[in-house]
Chain A
Amino acid sequence: MTTQLTGHCPECDAELTFNDVIEGEIVVCSDCGVDLEVISLEPFELALAPMEEEDWGE
């Protein structure tokens, strides 16, 4: 059975609906294209996905 969850993009406020997502999953806002992280399922909550930073290091 498909579980459908609806939330808002924290970047552009578009209403977004996803099927069968899991906590920690990286999804893409279909409106503005930004990467989002599913940080909670109950309640359904989206945050901007972690930034990619560059770092010197072995």
Chain B
Amino acid sequence: MRDPLALLPGLLAYYSPTGEEEQAVSFLAESMGAMGFEVWCDEAGNVIGSRGSGNREILLLGHIDTVSGMIPVRWEGDVIYGRGAVDAKGPLACFVSAGAAARLTPDWRITVIGAVGEEGDSRGAKHVCQTHPAPKMVVIGEPSGWDHLTLGYKGSYWFRYRLSQPMVHTAANGASACETAVDFWNRLSRVVAQWNEGKERLFDQLTPTLRSIQMFPDDYSEIVEMRVGMRLPPKLDQPALEALLDGVMETGERFVEDYLPAYRAEKNTPLVRAFLSAIRKAGGQPAFSLKTGTSDMNLVGPFWNCPIVAYGPGDSSLDHTPYEHLRISEYLTSVSVLTQALEIIMNTNV
């Protein structure tokens, strides 16, 4: 049986950027088997481990892929470095360790999933949505800090703005395609600033970012393409957003690449109550977080519509950075908190 201290460095040692998760999946499957889970892999490549045979399921949904950029695993005192230490192998190892340690009751079962592709198109979580029966409650494995619970994530909308116009001489009086595209971006920025007026929290604001701008001239025309990402607040749905963009676009075309709505979980649920109690029992002062990024909560939250939070050790400001590291003492505390929360849930009539 692997203990939490052996599981985490083992998992970190298998570098698993999105699309290259197989070796880490094999390691985790073997580890979960040794820790008392019934283990299998699904068609998407997700690794799934389950304990117990009750009708009520608590699903602990983590992800096993990371962004690219190898960080050699090393220890420095209480700290372990490695790609995914925070996002999100630390939380996934916490899930497996707590899921193995929690005392089961006859009504419940605990399922841990190490999903693939979360840093890409979330193909692992999409497959889980389509194939896994709706659980009673879900915990998403992302770094919240051991004494915080994440209740919501902003949404995202990605599009390419493309404009083609006949070539004009640089001495002629007329806007180039690049200038027209820049005008579009400036108008969008102004309209968004107006939309955001009075909204103090970033979570409630619409935040566009210009990710790239490229020119593709040929002999007869000039073509400019911008790639724009927008972080979406909960109260702005796709039709309302597209109406706003339509009002800003005087010319050109828009090609939508991706859309994921924001999601905000309820806080008065048995799941949240169990975590609050467990964090307090561990000596913490619990707090809620609202994240300006996205996670698999954006997908599964509206799909299953059951109690949900995101939880896991680690400082999310280290996500995707070359400095990813996790304090082992925090990791072990989060394992204790999650174990306790699971036991509270299974021993409460919910």
Contact = CB atoms under 8 A, between A and B. Distances in A.
Is B truly associated with A? yes
Task: State the majority secondary structure of interface residues on A.
Answer: loop
A55 B277 contact: no
B255 to A, nearest CB: 24
Residue of A23, A55, A56 with most partner-chain B CB within 10 A: A55
B148 A53 contact: yes
Interface stretch (B7-15, B242-250, B316-324): B316-324
B291 A52 contact: no
Interface string B249-282: 0000000000000000001100011101100100
Interface residues of A, number: 16
B292 A55 contact: yes
A55 B319 contact: no
Contacts of A57: 142-143, 150, 289, 291-293, 316-317, 319
Interface of chain B: mostly helix, strand, loop or mixed: mixed
Contacts, number: 75
Given A50-B287, A53-B287, A56-B316, A23 B277 contact: yes
Interface residues of B, number: 34
Interface string B113-157: 000000100000000000000000000001100001111000000
Contacts of A55: 148, 150, 289-292, 316-317
B276 A24 contact: yes
B241 to A, nearest CB: 21
Contacts of B148: 53, 55
A25 B149 CA distance: 15
A5 interface: no
B276 A56 contact: no
A51 B268 contact: no
Interface in B281-300: 285-295
Contacts of B87: 58
B273 A22 contact: yes
Contacts of A22: 273
A25 B319 contact: no
Interface of A: 22-26, 37, 39, 50-58
Interface of B: 87, 119, 142-143, 148-151, 201-203, 267-268, 272-274, 276-277, 280, 285-295, 316-317, 319-320
5 contacts: A53-B148, A53-B288, A55-B292, A55-B316, A56-B293
